Amino acid sequence: MPGSMRVRLIHLLLPVILVLFAQIAPAQSQPWKKIAPAGESFTVMMPTQAVESSRLIPLGDKGFIRERVYHSLNDNKRFMVATFVRTTADKVPELSSFINFVSAIERTFQGREPPAVFSFDRDLTSEPGQAKQYHLTLGEYEGTVRLLESDKSFYALIVIGTDEHDRNAQTFFSSFAAGEPNIVAEEGNVIVDSPDNADELQRVRSALPPEPWPRSGSPIMGGVLNGKAIHLEVPKYPQSARKAHESGEVRVQVLISEEGVVIWANATEGPENLRDASVEAARKSRFTPTRLMGQPVKVNGVIIYNFLAQ
């Protein structure tokens, strides 16, 4: 091809190449999200919104412990933060000191299928407590784990699908900060573990790279919760029910977060015209946080409202 034709061809193709690059580049440089889960005492940067999941983690003689784990999947990598509340030795010895916590996490990777290799790398400098870094091999995937402590909690920061030298892994690890509890009303960039988000929870569970502790932890059953509320919102009698002077009992199935906030509500029984008001009231109710083996847990239960005809 003559030189003049090559130059002309380059000039013709250059605008097309620039347009394609402009379309692709933003997708590769989406801004990371600041993750600040309500009630948790940490913040961290992740490449996407975090998906919260309740997981059963095998810690010591007490069996499985329910813990909150936050996932972000991006570019064939899994970023995770698992939180553990520090307890006393009489409740959960494995969570009473950093040494015990580290030993317990090491044991969770023993005797697994597929096999996992969890090997100590080095001690890290961390404020306000101790920190250690480990290499993780989970099946065919490599990863890095950092175990840290604060005054009230222990944390496992995990990246699977790359090593610690990856730029995104470095951003994730260096952005983690423990401090005061996040405000419940704050925008935390977290997709909560509730029935409304079942599709996202399933996506996180089935996606690759795999997670180290895939067993789900269901909320504990609390039965009828009216007497356990620290604030039970009274529903307003709906205008739509006045014409027929409707009355009766409405049962609302609710899911209560670790902070005592109703994060999901659905009326399952009762007159149709009274259900929406009952759900609205249930969402505004508040409960004392529930703990199991020293760890905050979600509670599934029912709120019952009785309406008199008006």
Pull the structure tokens for residue 295. 């760890």
pLDDT of residue 307: 92
φ, ψ at 166 (rounded to 5°): -60, 135
Q: Which of 206, 233, 266 is the last residue of a domain?
A: 206
Paired strand residues for 154: 84, 149
115 and 231 both lie in a single domain: no
135 and 229 both lie in a single domain: no
Residue 227 has pLDDT above 60, yes or no: yes
Question: Residue ranges of the alpha helices (H) in 49-180?
Answer: 98-108, 167-175
191 and 117 both lie in a single domain: yes
Between 141-150, 159-168, 228-237, 288-297, the lowest mean confidence (pLDDT) is in 288-297
Residue bearing the bigger pLDDT, 111 or 205: 205
pLDDT tens profile 24-81: 444 445 799 999 998 899 999 999 999 999 999 988 766 788 899 999 999 999 999 9
Helix (H) or strand (E) holding 48: none
pLDDT of residue 24: 41
263 part of a folded domain:
yes
258 and 174 both lie in a single domain: no
For residues 214 and 57, what is the distance between their CA atoms, to the nearest angstrom?
A: 9
For residues 38 and 289, what is the distance between their CA atoms, to the nearest angstrom?
A: 13
295 and 146 both lie in a single domain: no
199 and 237 both lie in a single domain: no
Query: What does the pLDDT average to over 154-162?
Result: 97
pLDDT of residue 5: 52
Residue the block writes with tokens 């944390």: 155
Domains in the chain, number: 2
Query: What does the pLDDT average to over 164-182?
Result: 94
Query: What does the pLDDT average to over 133-158?
Result: 96
Helix (H) or strand (E) holding 303: strand 299-307
- CA 234, distance to chain mean position in Å, is 31
How would you classify the pairing of strands 190-191 and 50-58?
Answer: parallel
Domain that holds residue 248: 220-307
24 part of a folded domain:
no
171 and 253 both lie in a single domain: no
Strand order across the beta sheet in which 177-178 lies = 33-35, 42-46, 177-178
200 and 224 both lie in a single domain: no
The proportion of the chain whose per-residue pLDDT surpasses 70, expressed as a percent, equals 88
pLDDT of residue 187: 66
292 part of a folded domain:
yes
